[in-house]
Amino acid sequence: MITLIPKTHQFVCVVNKKIPAPQLLNAVGHMAAGLVNQYREDTSALRFRDFIDKDKTIHPSTSENGFVVLRSENSNQLRTLRNNLIQEGIRFTDFTQTMVPGDYITQQKEFDETHEQDLEYFGVCFFIEKEKSRELTKKFSLYTG
């Protein structure tokens, strides 16, 4: 029997509605992986567990926490959210248009030549207490595709 422990945190990913879905899926994958990497010293709050089905097949390392995907109207809303996360000291990842072409060397060259204010944000991802999440994301709506 499983003891239910209340969830207090959630993963939140806010994506730019102007970006095509295939690119957003790529961005969400990169951001989620990067965010988990930031917790590598202690992932206990992320609450990963293996789920086991009736046939005893393991479905490994799924978080018990929710993963909410919201949408922003544009890149500037994501920039503002990102700056708020920085001010609050909240760990986050982001994904910009400079991360799309070529390999990481090409991508770093793009970053070297682009001011932050000129970056187009595809998304921002973070892990946070639910109440704080609601406060920071109240202007965003649920992403529906």
Domain limits of the chain?
9-142
Q: By three-state DSSP, how is residue 104 classified? A: helix
100: β partners: none
- How is domain 9-142 classified at the CATH fold level? Bit1 (3.40.1490)
DSSP, res 97: G
Longest CA span, the chain = 56
Residue 1 pLDDT class (50, 70, 90 cuts): low
Give mean pLDDT, residues 124-133.
96
Average pLDDT, the chain: 95
Give mean pLDDT, residues 121-144.
96
- Whether residue 2 is predicted with pLDDT greater than 70 in this model: the reply is no
Of 69, 63, 67, 68, residue with least CA distance to 45? 63
The model's pLDDT over 53-90, given as tens digits with 9 standing for 90+, comes to: 999 999 999 999 999 999 999 999 999 999 999 999 99
- Whether residue 9 is predicted with pLDDT greater than 90 in this model: the reply is yes
DSSP, res 3: P
Of 78, 45, 50, residue with least CA distance to 62? 50
Residue 73 is predicted with a pLDDT of: 97
Residue 7 pLDDT class (50, 70, 90 cuts): confident
CB-based burial, 80-92: b 16+ in 10 Å, e otherwise:
ebbeebeeeeeeb
The model's pLDDT over 10-62, given as tens digits with 9 standing for 90+, comes to: 999 999 999 999 999 999 999 999 999 999 999 999 999 999 999 999 999 99
pTM: 0.92
What percent of the chain clears pLDDT 90, i.e. is strictly above it? 93
